[in-house]
Amino acid sequence: MKTRKVNYICDGGASRQKGSFLSVIFHAVSSGKRSYLQEVGTMKKVAIVMLLQAVAALFWFSSQAIASEQDVINAIVEARAAVKQFALPSAKLPDLNEEKAYALQKQLADKLVSMGQPIGGFKAGLTSEATQKRFGVNAPLLGPLFKPGALGPDAVVNTKDFVRLFVETEIGYIPGVKIDKPVADVEALKKMIKEVCPAVELPDLRFEDMKGLKGPDIVVDAVSSAKYIIGKPVPVSSVDVSEVAVTLTRDGEVVNQGKAADVLGDQWKALLWLVNGTVSRGYVIEPGQLLITGVMGNMIPGKPGSYKGDWGKLGSIAWTIK
């Protein structure tokens, strides 16, 4: 197919050149008086304007996403302080996945630390297949514990300080060295742990929508960390943690029983997972901080009463919920 040649005037008529119809398709004016260069200049201006509009739109959408993430963090901080529920992060951030959730968790932790709530340790959550399936994840979750939440034996816990209080019986590990990089194996990890202790976690599920709750939502709120009770530490060499079992009573009635192997099948493997996962998320584990590997038995509602957990050779903890 041949293209028809047309003449056009360049530089106000100073010279004449020939070009194809396709090369001047945008040279469409009613009078035919506008020059080719004027048309090209106009097209460039339009293209620049469109590009700037696209960049502005992209910046606006990005700023909205950032604002939404910050809104989520602020809402959680406020909810923790006021002891109230907050909307699911996934409801505010539809594209929330586990990776983004951990990034937001770190932002939350940094903000709480800046507000005078230093990190006192780290926890593992959803350590059973049943709980993982329930919340749509295929691995446990982890998050920080904050020092203001630490309690000692014989503590009195008030339900008014919680939105939705639960009780978990666990084993605690206290490192004697700083851990800031992944640990090769269990044998190397054992050399880093100085003491073990009975531990009770008192998580608070502050979410408005429990039915729609998913793993990433839990991750963002530091895996629902709130308060925790630390029993008397003993040297790690004095007890075989793999043989530890626990019985929990409330007002003398057994309400939970569990064993060490309930946590990922092996306490030391669970601890290795927690340690390596924690440092890979940008945290540093300091000497003396508490590491808890997950619930032995079941997580139970924190109803009022007198509680006692018995871990056998590892020790016991008594406390009251009112």
CATH number of the domain encompassing residue 207: 3.90.850.10
Residue entry with tokens 């003491």: 195
How far, in Å, are 16, 36, 37 from residue 11 at the CA level?
9, 9, 8
Q: What is the pTM assigned to this prediction?
A: 0.79
Residue 167 located in a structural domain: yes
Domain that holds residue 43: 5-57
For residues 37 and 181, membership in a common domain is answered with no
In a domain, 78, yes or no: no
For the beta carbon of residue 45, count every other beta carbon within 10 angstroms.
Answer: 10
The answer to whether residues 195 and 118 belong to one domain is: yes
Higher pLDDT, 244 or 38: 244
Q: Which tokens is 187 given? A: 């044998």
Assigned domain for 65 exists: no
Residue 51 scores a pLDDT above 60: yes
194 in the same domain as 266: yes
Average pLDDT, the chain: 86
Same-domain check for residues 194 and 245: yes
Q: Specify whether 37 is located in the same domain as 164.
A: no
The reply to whether 67 falls in a domain is no
pLDDT 10s digits, 118-130: 999 999 999 987 7
Total domain count, the chain:
2
Tell me, yes or no, whether 33 and 158 share the same domain: no
Q: Above 90 in pLDDT, residue 70? A: yes
What 210-214 contacts at long range (C-beta under 8 Å, 24+ apart), as own/partner pairs, is 210/164, 212/88, 212/90, 212/91, 213/88, 213/135, 214/88, 214/90, 214/135, 214/136, 214/137
Assess if residue 225 is contained within a domain.
yes
Separation CA 85–CA 257 (nearest Å): 30
User: Do 53 and 88 belong together in one domain?
Assistant: no
Per residue in 281-290, pLDDT (tens digit) is 999 999 999 9
The answer to whether residues 156 and 249 belong to one domain is yes
Task: Determine, yes or no, domain membership for 149.
Answer: yes
87 and 53 assigned to the same domain: no
| pLDDT higher at 32 or 306 | 306
Tokens at residue 8, please?
Answer: 């056009």
User: Is the same domain home to 12 and 99?
Assistant: no
Mark whether 39 and 163 lie in a shared domain: no
Instruction: State whether 19 and 157 are in the same domain.
Output: no
Work out the average pLDDT over 237-245.
96
Q: What is the average pLDDT across 17-35?
A: 47
Confidence grade of residue 3 (pLDDT, cut at 50, 70, 90): very low
Q: What is the mean pLDDT of the segment spanning 80-101?
A: 95
